[in-house]
Amino acid sequence: MFSLSNRHFKQILYLVFLFVILIIATPQAWADTDGKTSNGVRFHGGDEVILQGFHWNIVRTAEEDWYKIVKDKAEEIKNDGFTGIWLPVPWRDQSFWNPSRTENIEFGGEGYFWTDFNKNSRYGDDLELKEAAAELKGKGVKVIYDIVPNHHNRGHLGDELDLPSNQGYYRTDCGNCDDGDPFMSGDSDFNTANPRIYNLFKDEFSNLKENYSASGFRFDFVRGYAPERIDAWMNQTLDEGFCVGELWKSPQDYPNNDWRHHATWQDIIKNFSDTSNCSVFDFALKDRMQNGSISDWKYGLNGNPDAKWREVAVTFVDNHDTGYSPGPLGGQHHWPLADQQRKMAYAYILSSPGTPVVYWPHMYDWGLKDFLKNLIKIRQDLGIKAYSDIKFDNRYSGLVGRTMGSKGELLFALDSNLSDPRQVVSGPWRELMNEDNGTIRLWEKTLKPEVDVKFSCENGLTQLGQSVYVVGNNTNLGNWDVTQAIKLNPDTYPTWNNTIKLIAGETAEWKCIIRSESNPSQVIKWEQGSNNFVTAALDEVTVGHF
Ligand code: 7SA
Ligand code: CA
Ligand code: CA
């Protein structure tokens, strides 16, 4: 019988203890929470930030197969903070039509008028899709496929999906063979209640999960079929996955005798979510962004006072339908947000509840990557989730509010006359962002308090019109921007002093400078040698010298 000496037993115990510490200490590996809302809606823990991984004209403009481009970018997408990517419809689309009366342009092939489940599409071939999806999943970016169960391009020779008519498979096979709206004339609509059709999609969804790394689905044109069908499909294939429905149908789009004709956008999309148990694109917010003032943005589903409503919202600024896309005709732009509001809109959706989606061209084609990456980092550092609490402050112009993250509070002021965050609620507030002449301002109140640290600079011999300042490597010290440096007082000249707040426990690097009063960017003298260091603690003193 193998017996452990007391010493060996202790060694093993110690090793186990170390292993446990290591696991807990690696936060990024454990950051992704899963699970449904308490009402059973599939939002994968509510900590998702999603990239829309295509735009309308990709099939006409990509320099090479799109799947290869996305695969090669997987590391960057992960590092930008995205936890999921919405990939285009994986099935081949051989349709085409000319969207312009004046120019000879060909649209079609984007996936929404797909032929069959063959995955050799305009985005790349089957193997490229498999590899791109596996690479993304391997990096921790969940793959969410665009799914179009409402209709397809039917009845061509050689199709791998060639269903006969008059068998109950299509809308046109009987008077009520479709429990939803028609797409266009409806002659390509499925009867998704038909067992064969239902199972066709169920098996394909399982295939996407087993062989194409699917972790979620985006259901297209959900006005076209019963939301209960979506819940059944998800239950049987990817019940713990992420799902979102695209219900783009305004109250006036419903017939007079339908309750939704007299309801709000929020009621309509929340009702869909209740029945499908999927999250839902926040067209209530989109409607306010398009038709309201910026202070009306609080009326999106994601701003609802009830967390059970906020948490199912999937917020967006524009997508491949509503917005512009690089390439022919600028894409579709059915309902584009005004350019000058775009950055404020992203500042809002990334600082507020719901699950935010960033549109590919905004992130990677039109110069907003650093701005958006910073917003995503702020969201994740403060632990803001789909269900986080939000409080708006109507005393100021524009949109002012606070989102309560699990690690701290974020105060946002967009296009507002609010001058000091402490007017909203006492601090200490630390400024995180100030863009576009103050139209976008964010502050944080971390759970980490700030402490007063005494800074001194010795031998600060100055001429008239010059003063000694401190500049350093964090927001309170000007982020090494000499125009944001902190001025000291010559009360013990030539030693200059001042008290500056730093976050308790944080270590900062800094230097003394002699700077012109009249021209803030003119530095007459930098402190020589290496940077000074200080770790913020109560009554800490830190001294530099010229
Ligand atoms: O107007 C914008 C808003 O203004 C606001 O002020 C209004 C809003 O209500 C108002 O408050 O929003 C309205 O307009 C929206 C955009 O049209 C509507 C919304 O309901 C309405 O209220 O949104 C609808 O259209 C979107 C494009 C859909 C929404 O789900 C839907 O509700 N988006 C998704 C659905 C599809 C289709 O799968 C995709 O469409 C979108 O990318 C996706 O995100 O055999 C069939 C057949 C025949 O019946 C036809 O006669 C024949 O012409 C085939 C042929 N149809 C072709 C189409 O004519 C052609 O346009 C088809 C084969 O190809 C094209 O269709 C494209 C579609 O244009 C394109 O957007 C489709 C298939 O390639 O792919 C895309
Ligand atoms: Ca999650
Ligand atoms: Ca339909």
SS3 assignment for 263-303: CCHHHHHHHHHHHHCEEEECHHHHHHHHHCCHHHHHHCHHH
Is the pTM value of this prediction over 0.75?
Answer: yes
CA distance linking residue 354 with residue 257, whole number of Å: 31
**CB-based contacts of 183-186 (< 8 A; 24+ apart in sequence):** 183/150, 183/151, 183/221, 183/224
What percent of the chain is predicted at pLDDT more than 70? 97
**pLDDT tens-digit readout, 23-46:** 443 434 447 999 999 999 999 999
Structure tokens at 76: 């960057």
So what's the pLDDT on residue 15?
A: 75
Mean pLDDT value across the chain: 95
pLDDT digits (tens, 9 = 90+) for 232-286: 999 999 999 999 999 999 999 999 999 999 999 999 999 999 999 999 999 999 9
Q: How big is the chain by its Cα radius of gyration, in Å? A: 28
Q: Where are the alpha helices (DSSP H) in 26-101?
A: 58-61, 66-72, 74-79
The reply to whether 220 belongs to the active site is yes
DSSP 473-518: SSGGGTTT-GGGPEEPEEEETTEEEEEEEEETT-EEEEEEEEEESS
State how beta strands 486-487 and 440-446 pair: unpaired
Q: Which residue has the CA at smallest separation from atom 23 of ligand 1?
A: 248
Q: Which ligand sits closest to the CA of 147?
A: 1
Residues 212 and 116: their CA atoms lie apart, in Å, by 16
What's the pLDDT at 262?
98
Rounded CA-CA distance 418/428 in Å is 16
- List the alpha helices (DSSP H) in 152-250: 195-211, 227-237
- Which two structure tokens, joined as six digits, stand for 531? 């940077």
Q: Using CA positions, which residue lies closest to atom 68 of ligand 1? A: 112
Q: Which residues line ligand 1 (CB under 6 A)?
A: 95, 97, 108, 110, 112-113, 148, 183-185, 187-188, 220-221, 223, 246, 248-250, 253, 320-321, 332, 334-335
Superfamily (CATH) of domain 48-387 = Glycosidases (3.20.20.80)
Contact 511, 526 (CB under 8 A): yes
Q: How confident is the model at residue 115 (pLDDT cuts 50, 70, 90)?
A: very high
SS3 393: coil
Average pLDDT over residues 476-490: 93
CATH 2.60.40.1180 residue ranges of the chain are 390-446
Respond yes or no: is residue 246 known to be catalytic.
yes
| CATH 3.20.20.80 domain span(s) along the chain | 48-387
> Among residues 116, 246, 444, 450, which one is catalytic?
246
Distance 184 CA to ligand 1 centre (A): 8
Strand partners, 412: 401, 442
Closest residue to atom 76 of ligand 1, CA basis: 112
Helix 195-211 and helix 227-237, axial crossing angle in degrees, nearest 10: 40
Nearest partner of 140 among 96, 194, 76, judged by Cα = 76
Assign a CATH topology to domain 390-446: Immunoglobulin-like (2.60.40)
| Gap between the Cα atoms of 100 and 339, Å rounded | 24
Residue 445 belongs to what H/E stretch? strand 440-446
Atom of ligand 1 nearest to the CA of 184: 49
Q: Is the dihedral of CA 195, 200, 204, 210 positive or negative?
A: positive
How many residues appear in the chain?
546
Tens of pLDDT, residue by residue over 86-108, are 999 999 999 999 999 999 999 99
Whether 276 contacts 228, CB under 8 Å: yes
Q: Tokens 């823990």 identify what position?
A: 45
The pLDDT tens digits for 500-534 are 999 888 899 999 999 999 999 999 999 999 999 99
CATH 2.60.40.10 placement within the chain: 450-545
Which ligand is in closest contact with the Cα of 242? 2
Q: In sequence order, which residues have a C-beta less than 8 Å from that of residue 330 and are 6 or more positions away?
A: 324
Pocket test for ligand 1, best of 172, 321, 322 (most atoms within 8 A of CB): 321
Residue 262's CB is within 10 A of a number of other CB atoms, namely: 10
Q: Which residue minimizes the CA distance to atom 63 of ligand 1?
A: 113
**Which residue is closest in CA terms to ligand 1's atom 53?**
184
How many angstroms separate the CA atoms of 89 and 73, rounded? 19
Give the per-residue pLDDT at 19: 65
Cβ neighbors of 236 (< 8 A, separation 6 or more) are 202, 206
The pLDDT confidence band at residue 18, using thresholds 50, 70 and 90, is low
* Secondary structure class of 345 (helix, strand, coil): helix
Place of tokens 């775009």: 342
Helix (H) or strand (E) holding 13: helix 6-25
Q: Is the dihedral of CA 134, 135, 139, 142 positive or negative?
A: negative
Residues 251 and 261: their CA atoms lie apart, in Å, by: 4
Question: DSSP secondary-structure letter at 216?
Answer: E
Question: Hey, what CATH class is 450-545 in?
Answer: mainly beta
Among the listed residues 47, 48, 146, 220, the single catalytic one is: 220
Task: State how far the Cα of 334 lies from the Cα of 216, in Å rounded to an integer.
Answer: 26
